[in-house]
Amino acid sequence: MTYIAMLVPHHGTAVEMANVAVAKAANPQVRQLGKHIADEQSAQINQMLTWLDQRDAEPMPPPAPVREMEQQDLAMLRAATGPDVDRMFLMMMRPHHAQAVSESADELEHGKDRFALHLAATTKSDQGSEITQMNDLLAALEAG
C-alpha cells in the first residue's frame, strides 16, 4: 500500500512538470513527451486514488524537504523561457523518473498486491523508455 500511497504525489509532481512543458516547451517533441506523461500519469493517479479509497487509505506526501525542492524546481521551470524550458524539463524529469523506476523495481521484488505489481511493472517499463527518450532529446538539443 505504501508504494501506491507514495506514487500518487510523485506522479502529481510529474504531471505538474509535464503541463509546464506542454504549455511552454519550444521543441514539439518535448511538448509531445510532456503531453504523454501528463495524460498517462493523470490516468494512473485516478486509478491509484480509487484503489486507495477502496482501502480507506490516503496518498502519502513526500517529506517537507523533498516537497520544498520539488516546488523550487517547478518554480524555476515555470520561470524559464524558450529552449531553456526544454532542457530544464528533461533534466528535471530524468531523475524524477529514475526514482519511480527504482521504487517500482523494489515493489516488483517485494510487493504482493496484484494491482500494485501491475502498476510497478508498467511504471518501470514506461518510465524507463521515457528516460531513454529524454536522453535522446537532450543529446539532440545539445547537438543542435
pLDDT of 66: 87
pLDDT of 38: 98
Q: Mean pLDDT in the chain?
A: 95
pLDDT of 1: 84
DSSP state of 95: H
For 137, the domain range is 2-143
Count of Cβ atoms closer than 10 Å to residue 5 Cβ: 17
What is the Cβ-side half-sphere exposure of residue 86, based on CA atoms within 13 angstroms?
21
pTM over 0.85: yes
Distance CA 100, CA 123 (A): 7
How does pLDDT run across 5-43, given as a tens digit for each residue? 999 999 999 999 999 999 999 999 999 999 999 999 999
CATH number at residue 66: 1.20.1260.10
- Per the structure, how many domains does the chain have? 1
- Identify the segments of the chain with pLDDT beneath 70: none
Nearest to 26 by CA among 75, 89, 91, 73: 89
